[in-house]
Amino acid sequence: MPLKRNSRRCSLMPLRNFHSGHFRLSWVDARCHMLPDDFIDTAERLLAGAPEESDKRSAVSRSYYGAFHACLGSLPLDFIPAESDIQSGESHKAIIAAITLWGKGTQPGRTYAQQAARMLSKLKFARRRADYDISENLDSGDVDYCIGRSRKVIQLIRDARSRFDKEAA
Protein backbone atom coordinates (compact mmCIF):
# COMPACT_ATOMS: atom_id res chain seq x y z
CA MET A 1 0.00 0.00 0.00
CA PRO A 2 1.51 3.39 -0.96
CA LEU A 3 2.12 5.96 1.75
CA LYS A 4 -0.13 8.99 1.84
CA ARG A 5 1.71 12.25 1.31
CA ASN A 6 1.85 14.64 4.20
CA SER A 7 0.05 17.91 3.51
CA ARG A 8 2.80 20.00 5.15
CA ARG A 9 5.16 21.86 2.87
CA CYS A 10 8.90 21.22 3.05
CA SER A 11 11.15 24.05 2.04
CA LEU A 12 14.50 23.25 0.52
CA MET A 13 14.11 19.53 0.98
CA PRO A 14 16.93 17.43 -0.49
CA LEU A 15 15.78 14.99 -3.10
CA ARG A 16 18.10 12.27 -4.29
CA ASN A 17 17.54 11.41 -7.92
CA PHE A 18 18.94 8.25 -9.41
CA HIS A 19 18.91 8.70 -13.16
CA SER A 20 20.92 6.55 -15.54
CA GLY A 21 23.00 5.27 -12.65
CA HIS A 22 24.15 8.75 -11.62
CA PHE A 23 23.59 10.18 -8.18
CA ARG A 24 22.40 13.77 -8.02
CA LEU A 25 21.24 15.85 -5.09
CA SER A 26 18.77 18.54 -6.03
CA TRP A 27 16.72 20.96 -3.97
CA VAL A 28 12.98 21.07 -4.29
CA ASP A 29 10.07 22.62 -2.54
CA ALA A 30 8.00 19.48 -2.20
CA ARG A 31 5.37 17.84 -0.11
CA CYS A 32 7.08 15.43 2.20
CA HIS A 33 6.18 12.52 4.38
CA MET A 34 8.16 13.68 7.36
CA LEU A 35 9.88 16.80 8.66
CA PRO A 36 13.06 16.87 10.77
CA ASP A 37 10.97 18.01 13.75
CA ASP A 38 8.93 14.80 13.45
CA PHE A 39 12.00 12.77 14.44
CA ILE A 40 12.32 14.80 17.62
CA ASP A 41 8.61 14.54 18.35
CA THR A 42 9.05 10.76 18.11
CA ALA A 43 11.99 10.95 20.52
CA GLU A 44 9.81 12.79 23.03
CA ARG A 45 7.02 10.23 22.66
CA LEU A 46 9.52 7.45 23.36
CA LEU A 47 10.26 9.09 26.71
CA ALA A 48 6.62 9.44 27.75
CA GLY A 49 5.62 7.41 30.78
CA ALA A 50 8.28 5.07 32.10
CA PRO A 51 10.78 4.64 29.26
CA GLU A 52 12.83 1.50 28.95
CA GLU A 53 16.56 1.69 28.19
CA SER A 54 15.85 0.96 24.53
CA ASP A 55 13.38 3.88 24.42
CA LYS A 56 16.03 6.27 25.76
CA ARG A 57 18.62 5.02 23.26
CA SER A 58 16.16 5.28 20.39
CA ALA A 59 15.21 8.79 21.53
CA VAL A 60 18.84 9.91 21.31
CA SER A 61 19.11 8.42 17.83
CA ARG A 62 15.83 9.94 16.59
CA SER A 63 16.74 13.38 17.92
CA TYR A 64 20.13 13.26 16.20
CA TYR A 65 18.55 12.29 12.89
CA GLY A 66 16.06 15.14 13.17
CA ALA A 67 18.94 17.59 13.52
CA PHE A 68 20.93 15.85 10.78
CA HIS A 69 18.08 16.02 8.25
CA ALA A 70 17.43 19.68 9.06
CA CYS A 71 21.11 20.44 8.39
CA LEU A 72 21.19 18.42 5.19
CA GLY A 73 18.04 20.14 3.96
CA SER A 74 19.38 23.61 4.71
CA LEU A 75 22.78 23.39 3.01
CA PRO A 76 23.14 25.76 0.05
CA LEU A 77 23.86 23.95 -3.22
CA ASP A 78 27.43 25.24 -3.40
CA PHE A 79 28.25 23.52 -0.10
CA ILE A 80 26.74 20.08 -0.71
CA PRO A 81 29.51 17.48 -0.41
CA ALA A 82 30.69 15.51 -3.41
CA GLU A 83 28.71 12.46 -4.46
CA SER A 84 31.48 10.14 -3.30
CA ASP A 85 31.45 11.73 0.18
CA ILE A 86 27.68 11.42 0.51
CA GLN A 87 27.68 7.77 -0.55
CA SER A 88 30.61 6.82 1.67
CA GLY A 89 30.54 5.57 5.23
CA GLU A 90 31.61 9.07 6.24
CA SER A 91 28.53 10.85 4.89
CA HIS A 92 27.59 12.34 8.26
CA LYS A 93 31.11 13.66 8.77
CA ALA A 94 30.98 15.19 5.27
CA ILE A 95 27.70 16.98 6.03
CA ILE A 96 29.07 18.37 9.31
CA ALA A 97 32.21 19.56 7.49
CA ALA A 98 30.07 21.20 4.80
CA ILE A 99 28.00 23.06 7.38
CA THR A 100 31.18 24.26 9.08
CA LEU A 101 32.62 25.43 5.76
CA TRP A 102 29.38 27.20 4.89
CA GLY A 103 29.42 28.96 8.26
CA LYS A 104 33.03 30.06 7.86
CA GLY A 105 32.29 31.39 4.40
CA THR A 106 29.39 33.59 5.39
CA GLN A 107 31.02 35.91 7.92
CA PRO A 108 33.85 35.98 10.44
CA GLY A 109 33.19 34.76 13.95
CA ARG A 110 30.84 32.14 15.24
CA THR A 111 27.93 31.86 12.84
CA TYR A 112 24.67 30.03 13.32
CA ALA A 113 25.84 27.38 10.84
CA GLN A 114 29.11 26.83 12.71
CA GLN A 115 27.25 26.54 16.02
CA ALA A 116 24.86 24.02 14.45
CA ALA A 117 27.81 22.01 13.07
CA ARG A 118 29.50 21.86 16.49
CA MET A 119 26.30 20.75 18.19
CA LEU A 120 25.52 18.22 15.48
CA SER A 121 28.99 16.73 15.87
CA LYS A 122 28.42 16.30 19.62
CA LEU A 123 24.98 14.82 18.97
CA LYS A 124 26.52 12.37 16.51
CA PHE A 125 28.89 11.22 19.25
CA ALA A 126 25.95 10.79 21.66
CA ARG A 127 23.99 8.87 19.02
CA ARG A 128 26.90 6.52 18.37
CA ARG A 129 27.29 5.96 22.11
CA ALA A 130 23.56 5.24 22.47
CA ASP A 131 23.58 2.85 19.51
CA TYR A 132 26.83 0.98 20.15
CA ASP A 133 27.95 1.33 23.78
CA ILE A 134 25.25 -0.65 25.53
CA SER A 135 27.31 -1.65 28.56
CA GLU A 136 25.97 1.25 30.68
CA ASN A 137 22.52 2.73 31.15
CA LEU A 138 21.82 6.16 29.72
CA ASP A 139 20.91 8.91 32.13
CA SER A 140 17.44 10.37 31.43
CA GLY A 141 18.85 13.88 31.89
CA ASP A 142 21.42 13.23 29.16
CA VAL A 143 18.68 12.03 26.83
CA ASP A 144 16.58 15.15 27.51
CA TYR A 145 19.66 17.27 26.88
CA CYS A 146 20.19 15.60 23.47
CA ILE A 147 16.60 16.30 22.49
CA GLY A 148 16.93 19.95 23.53
CA ARG A 149 20.21 20.31 21.64
CA SER A 150 18.64 18.77 18.55
CA ARG A 151 15.85 21.32 18.62
CA LYS A 152 18.48 24.05 19.02
CA VAL A 153 20.42 22.74 15.98
CA ILE A 154 17.24 22.88 13.90
CA GLN A 155 16.59 26.46 15.04
CA LEU A 156 20.18 27.53 14.33
CA ILE A 157 20.39 25.94 10.89
CA ARG A 158 17.05 27.39 9.83
CA ASP A 159 18.18 30.82 11.02
CA ALA A 160 21.44 30.38 9.11
CA ARG A 161 19.58 29.45 5.94
CA SER A 162 17.16 32.33 6.35
CA ARG A 163 20.04 34.80 6.66
CA PHE A 164 21.79 33.21 3.70
CA ASP A 165 18.69 33.53 1.53
CA LYS A 166 18.17 37.19 2.55
CA GLU A 167 21.80 38.03 1.71
CA ALA A 168 21.56 36.21 -1.62
CA ALA A 169 18.38 38.09 -2.63
| pLDDT (0 to 100) of residue 70 | 94
16: enclosing H helix or E strand: strand 9-19
Cross-strand pairs, 9: 31
- Considering only residues 56 and 25, tell me which one the structure prediction assigns the higher pLDDT: 56
| pLDDT (0 to 100) of residue 107 | 67
pTM: predicted TM-score of the whole model, two decimal places: 0.80
pLDDT in tens, 153-164: 999 999 999 988
C-alpha 95/C-alpha 148 separation (Å) is 21
The residue type found at 115 is Q
Cβ partners under 8 Å of residue 161, min gap 6: 12, 74, 76
Instruction: Report the candidate in 9, 64, 12, 66 with the shortest Cα–Cα distance to residue 37.
Output: 66
What are the backbone angles phi and psi of residue 88, rounded to the nearest 5°?
-85, 175
